[in-house]
Amino acid sequence: GAFSIPTVSWPSDSCKTMTATLIGTMTRAEKAAQMVMAPLGIASVADVQTLAPGAVFAPGGYVPPGGSGIAAWGSYLDGFIAAAAQTTHKIPFFMGADVLHGNNTAIGTVIFPHNAGLGGSNDPALVQKGAQITAMEGAAAGLNWTFAPFAGVSWDDQWGRVYESF
């Protein structure tokens, strides 16, 4: 049989209404704060509760106060999520991380070769398995926004991150 993609009306009318209502109740400062991705190490749980940034970024190699294991990460990020739930508008919180080569934010996770190396394996199943492992390990640490997998193809060797291309 033929494969067909169902038509989905997005955003829905209720989503549009909720968004318009929410934005209508926000101050300019609150709207601006939602555009901020604050870096861990500078942003604290108290900052999230008072300033309500849209996200916090976990840079590679960052170690939370409780240690760098998955359980420590989960507990640490739960504090940020709980703080976001206490803000005026209770907008869901995003914790972003660059996990392009695996969840390098936590000890005990798998770190994969650069995409150039994986692409050179000529094994799409291996690449997919690596992305699945990275997704599971990121979710286990509490990350809900990742900057991976990267699926672009670089055509200009002068680009500084050409190794991230397949």
Specify the pLDDT at position 123.
95
The 3 state secondary structure assigned to 96-157 is EECCECECCCCCCCCCCCCHHHHHHCCCHHHHHHHHHHHHHHHHHCCCCEECCCCCCCCCCC
Contact (CB, 8 A) for 137 and 145: no
Calculated CA dihedral for residues 14, 15, 16, 17, nearest 10 degrees: 50
Sequence length of the chain is: 166
For the chain, the average pLDDT equals 86
Element (H, E) at 28: helix 28-34
| Confidence grade of residue 1 (pLDDT, cut at 50, 70, 90) | low
CA pair distance 74, 142, nearest whole angstrom: 5
The pLDDT tens digits of the residues spanning 19-65 come to: 999 999 999 999 999 998 888 877 788 888 888 888 888 877 778 88
Dist CA 61 CA 39 (whole Å): 13
Q: Which pTM value belongs to this model?
A: 0.76
pLDDT classification of 125: cutoffs 50, 70, 90: very high
Tell me: the pLDDT tens digits for 64-90? 888 888 888 888 888 888 988 989 999
